Amino acid sequence: MIPVTVHAFISAPREDLYDFIADFGARPAWCDHFMEDYRLAHPRATGEGAGARYLLAAPGYRHYVETTLVKAEKPVGMVERLHGGRNGRSRGELTWELSREGVGLTRVAVTLEWRPGTPREAFKEKLGGRRWTRRQLKSALERLRVIFEERPDGPLARVSIAGFEPLRSPRFGASPRAARG
């Protein structure tokens, strides 16, 4: 697939935007219009190694996608590695770039590269997958802009790991003493 790139200008400090975008637990607040059944893959929702899984609700072709944050360079940008589709054969990369454009103004650019793993997925992509992806990413950036510039009244949607019990966190790699407090 030819990479899909979308950008937006948001009146917010680059560091605040980076922290919000890198937090996978906050992603449903601005991406839930095309990501359904969103859940974290690990209790740690930020930083390298954080991951999530969601159902990509594309018309005529719904499939699960798993994403992992593989490179994080605060506040410049981050790279997420994606895989999903039929039997997890499709691979991709989501690159976020944040650049300062002026006092309190940040340019957020997101680039999605997706390589279909089967001929069926390649065919579905040719039927409008790029247009749909561009439209959804553009809407997501607009919703992100609204969150930072217009400050919604209520709390933002967040997600946590299903069934996470802090006292049992050693199975996820954390110390039980650190989980208790």
Does residue 171 fall inside a structural domain?
no
Domain with 146 in it: what CATH number?
A: 3.30.530.20
Would 9 be classed as within a structural domain? yes
pTM here is 0.82
Instruction: Give the pLDDT score at 181.
Output: 46
Q: Is residue 176 part of a domain?
A: no
Residue 177, pLDDT score: 55
CA distance 42 to 52: 8
Give the pLDDT confidence score for residue 89 in this predicted structure.
80
Q: Does any domain span residue 167?
A: no
Picking from 2, 3, 21, the residue whose alpha carbon sits closest to that of residue 98 is 21
All residue ranges of the chain with pLDDT < 50 are 179-181
Q: Does residue 178 sit within a domain? A: no
In a domain, 23, yes or no: yes
In a domain, 180, yes or no: no
Cβ proximity of 53 and 36 under 8 Å: no
What per-residue confidence (pLDDT) applies to 106?
94
Q: How many domains does the chain have?
A: 1
Judge whether 24 lies within some domain: yes
pLDDT value for 115: 87
Per-residue pLDDT at 84:
87
Q: Answer whether 65's CB lies under 8 Å from 53's CB.
A: yes
Range of the domain at 94: 4-160
Residue 86: per-residue pLDDT: 75
